[in-house]
Structure 1
Amino acid sequence: MNKRVLSYIKDNKLIKVGDKILVALSGGPDSLCLLNILLELKDELKIDIGAAHLNHLLRGEDAFNDEKFVINTCKEMKIPYFIKRVDINQYAKEYKLSSEMAGRNARYDFFDEILKNHGFNKIATAHNANDQAETILFRLMRGTGLEGLGGIKVSREDKIIRPILCLSRKEVEQYIKDKKLNPRIDKTNFEKTYNRNKIRLDILPYMKQNFNEEIVQTLNRMSLLIQKDNTFIESLSTKAYNKYCERTNINNDLLLRKELFNEEEVLVTRVIRNAVVECSESHYDFEMKHIYDILDLSKKATGKIISLPKEIYAENIYGDIHLKHNSKKNEKVSNENKVILNKKNVGKDLIEFNEYTIKMSVISNKLDEELDLKQNNLIKYFDFDKINSIISVRKRLDGDKMIPLGMKGKKKIKDIFIDMKVPKEERDNIPLLCFDDDIAWVAGIRVAEDYKITNSSKNILKVVVKRKE
């Protein structure tokens, strides 16, 4: 058994010399098997081992007995251990999650905390081949794509590893028996309240008896083939993501450009999924339904909005899809927000305005700096000598007008925003740079004709706008 696990570890490059492995130890047969095997391979692998146990406070006295068992086991094995208690029912209520998802999030938050503070670099979980088969069937019945049918990956993020995914539950139980180990048994694993338990206790045994005696191995082989295909498609979707997705300059929304939706659907859906994961920082709260809701949104009229999990919403803005946090949906900047300075004070201080910083400097000799007149929308130059005395930065007001560069007549700022397809909720956040009573620049959008630099300009005002990190 040890040789088989060792080969699996080496074939999948799960562990390297010097790794500090944190074993997720529930006290049950699987995690006890994993811990024991790694300890027996410790010298050969040249690794350090510790264990972590999260008490979910769900099973009364049994949960505390599990905790004591883990502590005593780790003391006997002379390995460091970490224990934490979390009221999962309260956690689930607070974050509006299922108990299963709440437990998972709390566990991995705990593990990450240990990795950060105690020098461990990998987390080993005790998923086995039966867990893989159950996961595939569970996802199949919920509705999933190719990635979901690939099941549990042997490693993730070069941090989470599953060294006994190659072993069946029967093999794990035999190992426990041979080694005379006495694991804790979670009685809830035999309750058919949970769908996963129904798969374990009813569906897989039925399939094994009536269709395929090797159904667990068959599903595991299928998962490996699908994972290989999925890896190739993911490489294509990553290229598409980099091509069509970007952060906006205004509210740091995640933008999916309309050209994305001309690609093959298999790529589009994956790019959307990766986008919502990045925007929400969650891998587990989105289903294919949400992906196709966004896909349908791309075909709707501009201004249409849909709500998504994790306080995310998507909006169609002239064919582009903007992913945003609800916390920003109703943000408004007060009419009182205004920064005023005298022309004489230019360059002394960095101006902060809402989500932006604005730096101004005066160039007395054009030869001192190569002027970037067109390449950067957030760096602009103005004829400093045309300014009488006051420079200000403010938000837009009703009726604001300016003479856009290259035009003779004034145009409403509102119409400029419409022409440039700036979303309504972003317009109040965009800084307007004003000289005396005139609007000289709608930052990142359009500059005015009045203050453009010419060959006769002597003193030039350079303005650099940056979004705060």
Structure 2
Amino acid sequence: MLEDKVLSFCHKHQLFQEGDHIFIAVSGGADSLALLHFFISIRDRYQLTVTALTLDHQLRGEASRQDVQFVEEMCQKWEVECISKSLDVMQYQARHKLGVEEAAREVRYQYFEDELSQKPNPILAMGHHGDDQIETMFMQLTRGVFPKGVPSKRSFANGWIIRPFLCLTKQEIQLYCDDHQLEPRYDETNADEVYTRNAFRKRIIPFIKKYNPSIHQSLQNMSEYMYEDEKFLFYQAEKMVEDCVQTGNKPDDIKVDLNQLKAHPRPLQRRTFHLILSYLYRKKGIDFSSIHVENLLYLLETNKPNLHLDFPGGLKVMKVYDHLVLTFTENEIHTYHKAIYPGESLILPNGIELTVQVEDLMEIPEENTRYEFVCDVSHVTFPLIIRTREKGDKMKVRGLGGRKKIKDIFIDEKIPKQEREIWPIVTDNQGKILWLAGLKKGEVKSSTSNHKWLRITLDYKSFT
């Protein structure tokens, strides 16, 4: 019996257990109606609580309103709780600049998440079947995405999404509806080949099943094997992300240590980049493909020190020597020229706090870190000027015995190009460069009889 086949699949994959609260996503179509009927038929045996969730996407006018009404009536007949809602997908689509299918999916899943988040350990059952698995995997292949397919179980909200019908074909579900006198609603948009999935369903899948009627089972097995392998590999990649990746001032600013990443096998490098892109695009509603991962692998392997790529959605990818920087907004060039006196501090546009003090000490004070600069105050004219670099800038570097171009110092220190434009330079009022902050300290004369010292400090915690 079909019911036994589904139960066997559920037990194999541990989709639910006795006493669970099962929410069923019900559109009124054959797949979801059969799924609702199936769980109603076993709810007493497994002491399940069953709740139907149905949504009017407002895409088909009166027809979609009638779908919701149909689901509500069936739930009343079967004595099942039904939670229904109506949401304007077209408005959401316009606001977020998405395709209709994508917008509908986001609205639908947000509705599900809102409902499930209010319950402890909820399970959302969805009516995806074996033919859907074929469609999904072949669509992923044509987009250049690794064909993972649809998982039978995955975490969602504070519970799980399960798909008990992945072991069935569309034809088997239709036979189930016929056997139980179920009369599902029909969505005419399912026949419209404007939608990619419908085109696959009507043209590609029948051709493939002609040569292998059981291909859904073969692909389901393959999907399960790959899921287990991927789960392990992505677990390893997640540990690599912790070691190789840093976030910037904004959560969506990512910096990758390429030297650390190179020490790992290519399959883990690939999955690390996949995790990074998934994280960055998580709220963008944008798909990336294998070509974007391969582009990142190229940047990892090439010896070229400075490269720039544009990815979908305005994502900028910059290779800066042995690091990779990914951000959705390029750093704007903030030139500045600020005066400061002893006893004052200021916040620079890049978030760095700089403080100027004069200390009265008998001995030469120590410079504890590269984020401090100390010199004889008698050879400095105030106010000090904190500015960005200017063309032709040179400084007399302490201990070097000569002058060096600021540009060459940046190159030697491997400072990214976008950071050079905002890097703070400290001069006195006559233009003498005292300090290329955090990098090189200027040579300043000292008087043996002097007891007053200039100390400039940076808040190094915010200093990149």
Give yes or no for TM over 0.5. Answer: yes
In 2, Cα distance between equivalents of 1:122 and 1:403: 68
Deviation at 1:286, TM superposition (A): 0.5
Where structure 2 has 5 or more consecutive residues not aligned to the other structure, the ranges are 360-365, 445-450
On the 8 A contact 1:134/1:196 being kept in 2, the answer is yes
Query: What do the CA deviations read for 1:150-179 (whole angstroms, capped 9, x no partner)?
Result: 311123345451231444133433433444
| Percent identity (aligned) | 27
Q: Which residue of 2 aligns with 1:421?
A: 414
Deviation at 1:95, TM superposition (A): 4.0
- The secondary structure found in structure 2 opposite 1:344 is coil
- Residues matched between the structures, number: 444
Q: Name which of 288, 302, 312 aligns with 2:290.
A: 288
Deviation at 1:33, TM superposition (A): 2.8
Letter of the 1:420 counterpart: E
- The secondary structure found in structure 2 opposite 1:182 is coil
Q: Which residue of 1 aligns with 2:256?
A: 256
Query: What do the CA deviations read for 1:81-121 (whole angstroms, capped 9, x no partner)?
Result: 14132244x65455444332232223223333444567785
Q: Name which of 341, 349, 354 aligns with 2:349.
A: 354
On the 8 A contact 1:359/1:465 being kept in 2, the answer is no
Structure 1 position 207 matched with structure 2 position 197 = no
In 2, Cα distance between equivalents of 1:432 and 1:22: 61
Q: Which residue of 2 aligns with 1:86?
A: 88
Deviates more, 1:155-164 or 1:110-119: 110-119
On the 8 A contact 2:335/2:422 being kept in 1, the answer is no
On the 8 A contact 2:344/2:357 being kept in 1, the answer is no
Deviation at 1:215, TM superposition (A): 2.0
Q: Which residue of 2 aligns with 1:367?
A: none
Residues 393-404 of structure 1: pairs in structure 2 closer than 5 A: 394-404=387-397
Query: What do the CA deviations read for 1:204-261 (whole angstroms, capped 9, x no partner)?
Result: 333333x223222122122222222333333443344444433357997323344345
1:427/1:217 CA distance change after superposition, 3 Å: same
Q: Which residue of 2 aligns with 1:154?
A: 152
Q: Which residue of 1 aligns with 2:362?
A: none
Q: Which residue of 1 aligns with 2:189?
A: 188
On the 8 A contact 2:356/2:454 being kept in 1, the answer is no
In 2, Cα distance between equivalents of 1:26 and 1:441: 68
Alpha-carbon RMSD across the aligned residues, in angstroms, is 4.4
On the 8 A contact 1:341/1:390 being kept in 2, the answer is yes
Q: Which residue of 2 aligns with 1:310?
A: 313
Deviation at 1:409, TM superposition (A): 3.8
In 2, Cα distance between equivalents of 1:460 and 1:18: 69
Q: Name which of 434, 459, 464 aligns with 2:459.
A: 464
In 2, Cα distance between equivalents of 1:72 and 1:44: 24
Letter of the 2:280 counterpart: C
Q: Which residue of 2 aligns with 1:139?
A: 140
Structure 1 position 247 matched with structure 2 position 242 = no
User: How does the TM-score come out when normalised to structure 2?
Assistant: 0.76
On the 8 A contact 1:17/1:46 being kept in 2, the answer is yes
Deviation at 1:310, TM superposition (A): 1.8
Residues 366-405 of structure 1: pairs in structure 2 closer than 5 A: 373=368, 380-383=371-374, 386=377, 394-404=387-397
Q: Which has the larger radius of gyration?
A: 2
In 2, Cα distance between equivalents of 1:432 and 1:46: 72
On the 8 A contact 2:435/2:442 being kept in 1, the answer is no
Where structure 1 has 5 or more consecutive residues not aligned to the other structure, the ranges are 365-370
On the 8 A contact 1:21/1:50 being kept in 2, the answer is yes
On the 8 A contact 1:27/1:66 being kept in 2, the answer is yes
In 1, Cα distance between equivalents of 2:251 and 2:382: 31
Q: Which residue of 2 aligns with 1:343?
A: 342
